[in-house]
Structure 1
Amino acid sequence: MKRTEKGLMQSRFIFLLCLISVMLLGLFARSFYLQYLESDFLNSEGDKKHIKHKTIPANRGSIYDKNGVPLAVSIPVYRLIVDPKTLLKRDNYSQLLSSLSKIISKPEREIDSEIRKRSSKRYFVLKRELRKSEVEIVRKDNFGNYIWLETFYKRFYPNGETSSHLLGFTDNEGRGQEGLEYALNKGLSGTNGLKKTLTDVHQKSIADVEIINDPIIGEDFYASIDIKIQHFAHEALKSAIEKNNAKGGSVVVMDVTTGEILAISNQPAGDLSLSKNRTPKYIRIKQSQISSSLAQHSNL
């Protein structure tokens, strides 16, 4: 009886030993397979999690008058981005809050409220357009990967309302909505580029890995407009409307020898580079005037 129990114990021990040996052999084989046979695949899969494709915006082309004076240009502008989820976990959160408050001249409690409302987010635009002095402070402080700057291009119209109805404006994505900005949008827009970027665990770009396609800058266009004559026509029409107590008016100045339009103005006008003039009501009022202007400029 004792021999039988002893033999049974030995059999169980041998079986268990064999089972453990098989498991260890399997683990060793799997480790060898992954390390030597599948290493390239695993490295590739790991890279996919940290390398992202990002669009490189193409700079929009400019519009000039016949003498090369800029009428519509794109200028670099910076927005302030924060990572709410990471910020709230920082031991020096209160100090960072104070720094942000000083940079953008906004009460700490308001910034704190905005960040906490987005506590699970990794990307939040704290301020859309920074002044030059604010940009310099952010760069100098070098906050790290939880507070950073992003560059975008904003359309700027140096001559204000003088040629606003003619030029029109672009939306937040840089697409022409009215006037020449709309009529020439395809050529002005250019073609966006594409790049591979290395990102950290928070999906924030660390460095560019490869430029797949360089962006193609939009075309520049030269109108037949002479901005000096345009300004004179605009002011003369404005004065005539006020003098005669009229509701509005239009003026066109042409070169009789070539048929080129040197100036065109509709009143009342408004600076479309100002967001307050981009309301649906304002656009509806100006639509007929803009369409008329474009029709007359179709051969420029």
Structure 2
Amino acid sequence: MRTTLIPAHRGQITDRNGEPLAVSAPVATIWADPSKADVNHPSVGRLAALLEMDRSELIGRLNEFRERQFLYLRRQVTPELAQQIATLRVPGVHVDREYRRYYPAAEVSSHLVGFTNVDGEGQEGMELAYNDWLRGEPGRKLVLKDRLGRTIKHIRSLEEPNAGDDLQLSIDLRLQYLAYRELKAAVQAHGADGAAAVALDAHTGEVLALVNQPSYNPNDRSELSSSACATAP
């Protein structure tokens, strides 16, 4: 019998009209217990291919960390790929559910909304400022595992996860797109190093659009460097 965590769904970030700016989609994590992994299993080659690794590379990693009981093989894979890996039933290899953050407006609202890390914790922008509001609390469940650590039966839920709360901004995504387009064109026309624009409601003071140049795509984690994510004053 083992107690495992049930991931909580992170709250959604929307504009003033309910248009999504940040949403969480179900994905999966593939991990291994190297101390129990069977590197001679007939499906190891297929597992390596699904993980986009060479068979020798996968076996090498499992052997290198043989003294460990936990090793990430690949994170945030699609549910379809996770199911293919699960059906291989390679001893010591496991599939767990988690969530991945997506940003429908991408670079149009990136400096404002920010982004999370691979563990779903806010790192910049509203994702960081309201992290405690958005994050939620994971639940717990009791499962039965075999001697190789594979979950073979769900016994019962001990504590249900509490989803994070949604966050609605004063931003109007239509105006945000217009401001982004015009600011980007102006920067290119004048050869500027960077620029920022803010549109306010003159009657209420609400921020209707806030854009920066240069921008970055928060859906591409290779672009998430400190210099790319720096916000204008």
2:215 aligns to what? 269
1:246 aligns to what? 192
Take 1:193 and 1:97, find their aligned partners in 2: how far apart are those partners? 32
Take 1:161 and 1:279, find their aligned partners in 2: how far apart are those partners? 14
Of 111, 115, 126, the match for 2:58: 111
Q: Supply the RMSD in Å over aligned alpha carbons.
A: 2.2
Q: Which has the higher contact order (CA 8 A, sep 6+)?
A: 2
- Where do residues 136-215 of structure 1 align in structure 2 (5 Å cutoff)? 136-139=83-86, 141-143=87-89, 145-215=91-161
For the structure 1 residues 203 and 170, does the alpha-carbon distance in structure 2 shift closer, same or farther, using more than 3 Å as the test? same
1:20 aligns to what? none
State the shift of 1:167 in Å: 0.5
State the shift of 1:250 in Å: 1.2
State the shift of 1:131 in Å: 4.2
For the structure 1 residues 96 and 114, does the alpha-carbon distance in structure 2 shift closer, same or farther, using more than 3 Å as the test? same
Structure 2 gap ranges (5+): none
1:278 aligns to what? 224
Take 2:118 and 2:83, find their aligned partners in 1: how far apart are those partners? 24
Q: Name whichever structure is richer in strand by fraction.
A: 2
State the shift of 1:133 in Å: 4.9
2:71 aligns to what? 124
State the shift of 1:56 in Å: 2.3
Q: CA deviation digits over 1:20-48, x for unaligned, max 9?
A: xxxxxxxxxxxxxxxxxxxxxxxxxxxxx
Please tell me the residue identity of whatever aligns with 1:75.
Answer: A
Structure 1 gap ranges (5+): 1-50, 293-300
For the structure 1 residues 271 and 127, does the alpha-carbon distance in structure 2 shift closer, same or farther, using more than 3 Å as the test? same
TM-score, length-normalised on structure 2?
0.88
Q: Name whichever structure is richer in helix by fraction.
A: 1
CA contact (8 A) 2:175 2:208 kept: yes
State the shift of 1:279 in Å: 2.5
TM-score, length-normalised on structure 1?
0.70
1:237 aligns to what? 183
Structure whose alpha-carbon radius of gyration is higher: 1
Q: CA deviation digits over 1:135-158, x for unaligned, max 9?
A: 34224x341553332111111111
1:87 aligns to what? 37
For the structure 1 residues 132 and 198, does the alpha-carbon distance in structure 2 shift closer, same or farther, using more than 3 Å as the test? closer
Q: CA deviation digits over 1:109-156, x for unaligned, max 9?
A: 1112112112233432222233455334224x3415533321111111
Please tell me the residue identity of whatever aligns with 1:217.
Answer: A
1:73 aligns to what? 23
CA contact (8 A) 1:60 1:189 kept: yes
1:58 aligns to what? 8
Take 1:148 and 1:212, find their aligned partners in 2: how far apart are those partners? 21
Equivalent pairs counted in the alignment come to: 233
State the shift of 1:261 in Å: 1.6
Q: CA deviation digits over 1:222-267, x for unaligned, max 9?
A: 1111111101100100100111111211111222233322111111
1:135 aligned onto 2:60: no
Take 2:73 and 2:85, find their aligned partners in 1: how far apart are those partners? 13
CA contact (8 A) 1:122 1:202 kept: no
Q: CA deviation digits over 1:56-109, x for unaligned, max 9?
A: 222110001111111001111122223333333x7xx25222211332332211
Please tell me the residue identity of whatever aligns with 1:56.
Answer: I
